[in-house]
């Protein structure tokens, strides 16, 4: 884990160089091996390094030439393959950082993002064009926060506290109030607990140019849906699918182990972490195992011990008593920068991480996020009995359908359906209040569910600059008539005609932030 940070004044006003040192100090725990920065009046890029690949000073960041500057946090797993595809260059290091630098220089941002595989957050600056690009990996493994303050200065960093050290973004009382509900702050793809301070959405990058910010999505998980691949896999036997998956899984784990520093694995004795540790041990004989023993009825220490015996490796552990949760809560919340609701396991994790650090281990593999894939949750095993479990509901639903007034009531806001929409309504209210504050005065508030409640003539005059529109993106193969019929029904021909005549299909849409 490294740390990146920096600023870019949109008015080209000079910013104090000392701010870069302040930001480096705050993120020193992310990269204690070395730190440095690039500074040129209105722009500054800083880096805290945790060295994993090429431990020499040749891989120190920022990595720059007379034309470009790069600060980067993460790991590119296929950098050795990409290195072979690039034009011949006299490399100064054996790091993935330098390979990423030349990918961006020779291929540009979009082609590079198509090719690289890994977890990353980086800032790429073109000195000649004065263009800055901020990027976050496809699913948001590596953090990146950004915001523009009242002085028109863009600040970014791996942690919110780093930005707050050098400028002041005010707390958002609504987010503060709502964040403990369901771990909203922990799971948010955009918002933070501070006004005008955001987390860069996974699979997106921001271009800073001409005093403005432009945000573009380069990846969406829906793009992975492939009907031909699905049909191919459906035609395979269970044995063939298992063999193919095993090959993919093994290759993935092997790629994660590319490191010039010692590595380890966090294991709980569960299916996911045990699988990962077992495969990793085949490729790294020096892999060290660590576990947090949550003492009590939920302890999985015996399972973790059994795994270590099977693999023939020593198991380093930390006994975490329930009283320690209060002891560690403040410190871990400081690192998480949000109330701990979902990821309460961060408390024992913080202690076993300290033991890993004492053992000189700089990176670890975990089974985090793999429970759905390997059926780690018991409820996933009951899916085959879903029809049986839902049988009472199915019968009741048929009864309700036969009596339309009862069905309407149950689906209304006063019926049982209203309970599931409470948070949705509160989110809409929050958005409405933000709009009222921006518009000031006494703005007119009009609500309608869709085009079925407004005429074409009203619609054309109703839409203005102060109204937020959620566009439906179309590609050239889609039928506009079929799409409108699907979304609006077949009883609105006049409205369909109006939209079709005024429809604009935009390709490569860039959203202005």
Q: How many residues belong to the chain?
A: 513
State the first-to-last Cα distance of the chain, in angstroms, to the nearest integer: 28
Q: Answer positive or negative: Cα dihedral of 344, 120, 50, 157.
A: negative
| C-alpha 510, offset from chain centre | 19
The one-character DSSP state at 59 is: G
* Cβ-based neighbours of 167, under 8 Å, separated by 6 or more: 149, 151, 153, 155
By the 10 Å C-beta count (0-12 exposed, 13-18 middle, 19+ buried), 425 is classed as: exposed
CA distances from 212 to 108, 286, 431 (A): 20, 49, 23
The one-character DSSP state at 172 is: -
SS3 of 136, please? strand
SS3 of 320, please? strand
* Cβ-based neighbours of 105, under 8 Å, separated by 6 or more: 67, 68
Given the residues 2, 103, 153, 204, the one annotated as active site: 2
Active site residue 2: yes
E-assigned strands of 106-222? 118-126, 131-136, 145-148, 153-157, 197-199, 204-209, 212-217
Q: Answer positive or negative: Cα dihedral of 446, 447, 450, 452.
A: negative
| C-alpha 24, offset from chain centre | 23
In Å, the largest CA–CA distance within the chain is: 77
| CA 465/CA 457 separation, integer angstroms | 18
Closest-CA residue to 20 (of 135, 141, 153, 152): 153
The three state secondary structure string of 414-476 is CCCHHHHCHHHHHHHHHHHHHHHHHHCCCCCCCCCCCHHHCCHHHHHHHCCCCCCCCCCCCCC
Question: By the 8 A CB rule, do 86 and 98 touch?
Answer: no
The one-character DSSP state at 49 is: E
Structure tokens at 484: 């409108």
| CA 53/CA 35 separation, integer angstroms | 16
Residue with tokens 């269970």: 238
What are the catalytic residues?
A: 2
């Amino acid at each position: 884990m490294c740390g990146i940070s920096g600023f870019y004044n949109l008015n080209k006003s000079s910013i104090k160089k000392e701010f870069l040192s302040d930001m480096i100090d705050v993120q020193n725990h992310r990269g204690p091996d070395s730190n440095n920065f690039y500074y040129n009046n209105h722009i500054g890029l800083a880096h805290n390094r945790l060295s994993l690949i090429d431990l020499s000073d040749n891989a120190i960041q920022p990595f720059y030439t007379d034309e470009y500057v790069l600060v980067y946090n993460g790991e590119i797993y296929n950098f050795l393959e990409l290195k072979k595809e690039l034009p011949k260059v006299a490399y100064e290091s054996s790091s993935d950082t330098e390979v990423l630098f030349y990918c961006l220089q020779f291929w540009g941002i979009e082609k590079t993002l198509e090719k690289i595989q890994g977890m990353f957050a980086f800032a790429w600056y073109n000195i000649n064009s004065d263009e800055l690009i901020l990027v976050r990996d496809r699913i948001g493994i590596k953090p990146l926060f950004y915001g523009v303050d009242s002085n028109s200065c863009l600040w970014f960093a791996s942690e919110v506290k780093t930005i707050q050290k050098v400028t002041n973004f005010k707390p958002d009382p609504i987010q503060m109030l709502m964040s403990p509900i369901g771990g909203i702050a922990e799971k948010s793809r955009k918002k933070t607990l501070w006004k005008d301070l955001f987390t860069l959405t996974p699979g997106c990058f921001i271009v800073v140019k001409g005093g403005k910010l432009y945000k573009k999505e380069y990846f969406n998980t829906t793009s992975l849906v492939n009907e031909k691949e699905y049909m191919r896999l459906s035609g395979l036997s269970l044995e063939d699918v298992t063999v193919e998956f095993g090959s993919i899984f093994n290759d993935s784990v092997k790629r994660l182990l590319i490191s010039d520093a010692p590595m380890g694995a966090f294991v709980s004795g569960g299916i996911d972490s045990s699988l990962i540790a077992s495969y990793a041990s085949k490729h790294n004989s020096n892999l060290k195992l660590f576990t947090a023993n949550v003492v009590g009825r939920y302890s999985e220490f015996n399972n973790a011990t059994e795994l270590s015996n099977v693999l023939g490796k020593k198991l380093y552990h930390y006994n975490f008593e329930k009283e320690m949760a209060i002891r560690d809560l403040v410190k871990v919340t400081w690192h998480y920068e949000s109330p701990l609701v979902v990821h309460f396991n961060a408390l024992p994790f913080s202690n076993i991480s300290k033991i890993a650090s004492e053992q000189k281990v700089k990176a670890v593999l975990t089974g985090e996020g793999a429970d759905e894939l390997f059926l780690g949750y018991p409820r996933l095993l009951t899916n085959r009995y879903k029809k049986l479990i839902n049988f009472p509901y199915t019968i009741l639903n048929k009864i309700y359908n036969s009596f339309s007034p009862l069905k309407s009531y149950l689906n209304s806001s006063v019926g049982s359906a209203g309970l599931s929409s409470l948070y949705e309504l509160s989110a809409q209210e929050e958005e409405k209040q933000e709009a009222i504050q921006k518009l000031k005065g006494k703005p007119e508030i009009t609500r309608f569910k869709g085009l079925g409640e407004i005429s074409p003539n009203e619609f054309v005059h109703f839409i203005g600059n102060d109204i937020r529109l959620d566009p439906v993106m179309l590609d050239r193969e889609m039928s506009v008539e079929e799409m409108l019929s699907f979304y609006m029904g077949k009883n609105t021909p006049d409205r369909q005609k109006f939209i079709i005549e005024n429809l604009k299909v935009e390709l490569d849409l860039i959203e202005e932030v």
